Structure 1
Amino acid sequence: MNFNYLPIYILTIALGGSFYLGYLPPIIFFIYVIASTLTFFLYAKDKRAAQNDEWRISESTLHMYSLLFGWPGAIVAQQKLRHKSKKQCFRSAFMFTVLINSALVVGMHTNYGSNMLRSNTHNLKNYVTKNVDNQYVRKSALFLFSFRNDNYLYYESDTFYIRES
């Protein structure tokens, strides 16, 4: 087990558990996958530019992508590509972006964060069902924006309530 990847293992288990318990919709996991892939490719492009003495991607851009859910891809890139893995001031700023992003995910589990997340995903589901004609896109979007326990909840006046059986 490579301990450099431990934060990614923890994130994967936490997101899976949060989905299973009904706290997060699947779209959160897919956002991490897409952002991490994009961030990995940005690191690869920057590594290639560094080797060829070409125009580089700024460190602030790399940090921004890490902050916007791409930090797992940045960790993989730092380990696999051996890029930005030794510079201590970069690593410190990177770890700060990981902590901020982790705090955001924890915030999604608070009452306020959960209500806001459910409200926004509910609005997205409504938009997709009203404006998308393709049934496969509509079904995919409904799955991605649904919480596992949506059938137990109802939405009223910007708040979700538990249905009594």
Structure 2
Amino acid sequence: MQKVILFYFLFINLLAFLIYGYDKFIASKTKARRISERELHTFSIIGGFLGATLAMAIFHHKISKSSFLIKHIIILFLWIAGILCYFTQVDELNFLG
């Protein structure tokens, strides 16, 4: 089960990274329909918070919009708290073993 969870997080973070990059490309190069902020946040909420954060840093995407950034930081802290709670309460020190 742990390997399925690991695969999911790898997949969703890669997907979030690509979607943020695609949205930045659309924003800078074309007049096509953009990806909504709600959809971008959804990828962070469902586990793509690391890929989204990395894409924001690399592509400089959405980092100057404070309302978006605040929501993203809240999502990031909630995930960090959840992960810390999981590893401390469940005592899953051998997660990949």
**TM-score, structure 1 normalization:** 0.49
Larger Cα Rg: Structure 1 or Structure 2? 1
Give the corresponding residue for 1:79: 57
2:77 is aligned with 1:99: yes
Higher relative contact order (CA closer than 8 Å, sequence separation 6+): 2
- Rounded to whole Å, the distance in 2 between the matches of 1:89 and 1:64 is 15
Structure in which a larger fraction of residues adopt helix = 2
Runs of at least 5 residues in structure 2 that lack an aligned partner in the other structure: none
Cα distance per residue 1:60-112 (max 9 Å; x no partner)? 1111101211111112211221211211111110011111212222232324x
Runs of at least 5 residues in structure 1 that lack an aligned partner in the other structure: 1-23, 115-145, 149-165
Indicate the RMSD between aligned Cα atoms, in angstroms: 2.4
Alignment of 1:146-161 (within 5 A): 148=97
Give the corresponding residue for 1:29: 6
Give the corresponding residue for 1:50: 27
Question: How many residues are aligned here?
Answer: 93
Identical aligned residues as a percent: 26
**TM-score, structure 2 normalization:** 0.79
